[in-house]
Amino acid sequence: MKKILVTGGLGYIGSILIRDLLTQGFEVVIYDNFMMGAQHILDLMDNDKFSLIKGDIRDTEKLNNIIDGSFYAIVHLAAYVSHQLCENFQANTMEVNQNASIKLYKFASIRSIPKFIFISTCSNYGVTEGEKYATEDDQLHPLSLYAQTKVNTELELIKLAKTSKPRLTILRFGTIFGLSPRMRFDLLINEISMKATMGTKIQIYSPNSWRPYLHVKDASESIIQIINFETNDISSQIFNVLSFNINKNQLITEISKLIKVNFEIVEDGNDNRNYKVSNEKIKNKIGFEPKYNLIQGVVQIIEAIKLGIIEDPLDLKYTNDHIRWTNLDFVLE
């Protein structure tokens, strides 16, 4: 049985991934600081293939004691991912997203762990011109601190991987959407779906701007396919991972076919990102094909809210911009 360490495994993506890993027979260890809470994994606590360790990704002494040669792979999800969160806590963002990620890879190298999967972002591309779809070889234009830390970390990890044991794979995810046990409604498709269901107006900034999107289940599946990929062909490789590209106007049009969307177009905004991304490389190299489309993701969210499965979806606990701020000022003693 292969043992997988998932950092940030209590988060939006991790909460799906750990269940998928367990279903496929892996042993799973989560390392997480509980910033997002942990009640949503209570159902896993009696699973003998599952264990949970509370700790901060910056706690190098604790990580050094935990990581050993019994792990087959590390999936590194732990990061500050909200734009506002990163801007409000810039020093912490650099420590967590960049410095701690590099140290984690070095620990994996010392312990000769076979695989290290680093989760990055398509936001690294920032802007693409005209009809161009960005590929993994294109120049990066990070327009946020979050994206900049991901770019910096990618560069350093690739440099380290040239002489280190773990087979590094970097996955640049599109903007995630879809249901998760640790739900987020501060992601665009999720937010539009939720506010349309609740009858609340949503502001749409830069309506003609494009983004790649990725269903959270497809995100999980892409990670598992990388774990299961046996050859060295993907060592030190970067892959874009997405379900589709669409602009915001088109999003509103498509979702409006399912439910009335009360929206307001706001042309002025501080987000200048506008990019389309190609996922041909991961399709051709790994055989990854996304299974979920926009409509499936939106319908699931609408149904979950209407059925009362998600209580009070307007609660700020479903956003990363309003997490438990006291947990961000972790100090090593």
Taking residues 49-74, what's their average pLDDT?
A: 95
For residue 267, name the pLDDT band (cuts at 50, 70, 90).
confident
* Residue 57 near residue 18, CB atoms below 8 Å: no
Residue at 215: amino acid letter: H
What value does the mean pLDDT of the chain take? 93
82/161: higher pLDDT: 161
333/316: higher pLDDT: 316
- For residue 31, what are the β-bridge partners? 7, 53
3-state DSSP of the chain: CCEEEEECCCCCCHHHHHHHHHHCCCEEEEEECCCCCCHHHHHHCCCCCEEEEECCCCCHHHHHHHCCCCEEEEEECCCCCCHHHHHHCHHHHHHHHHHHHHHHHHHHHHCCCCEEEEEEEHHHHCECCCCCEECCCCCCCCCCHHHHHHHHHHHHHHHHHCCCCCEEEEEEECEEECCCCCCCCCCHHHHHHHHHHHCCCEEEECCCCEEEEEEHHHHHHHHHHHHHCCCHHHCCEEEEECCEEEEHHHHHHHHHCCCCCCEEEECCCCCCCECEECCHHHHHHHCCCCCCCHHHHHHHHHHHHHCCCCCCCCCHHHCCCCCCHHHHHCCCC
Q: Domain tally for the chain?
A: 1
69/271: higher pLDDT: 69
* Residue 247 near residue 209, CB atoms below 8 Å: yes
Tens of pLDDT along 24-37? 999 999 999 998 88
pLDDT of residue 36: 84
Taking residues 190-204, what's their average pLDDT?
A: 96
User: Distance between CA atoms of 53 and 128, rounded to whole angstroms?
Assistant: 41
- State yes or no: pLDDT of 326 exceeds 50: no
Task: Give the predicted TM-score (pTM) of the model.
Answer: 0.95
Give which of 171, 172, 187 is closest to 298, Cα–Cα.
187
Which residues constitute the domain of residue 174? 3-329
- State yes or no: pLDDT of 285 exceeds 90: yes
pLDDT of residue 324: 47
Output the domain CATH number for residue 134.
Answer: 3.40.50.720
Tens of pLDDT along 116-167? 999 999 999 999 988 899 999 999 999 999 999 999 999 999 999 998 889 9
Taking residues 278-296, what's their average pLDDT?
A: 97
For residue 90, name the pLDDT band (cuts at 50, 70, 90).
very high
For residue 322, name the pLDDT band (cuts at 50, 70, 90).
low
- State yes or no: pLDDT of 328 exceeds 80: no
Other CB atoms closer than 10 Å to residue 141's CB: what's the count? 17
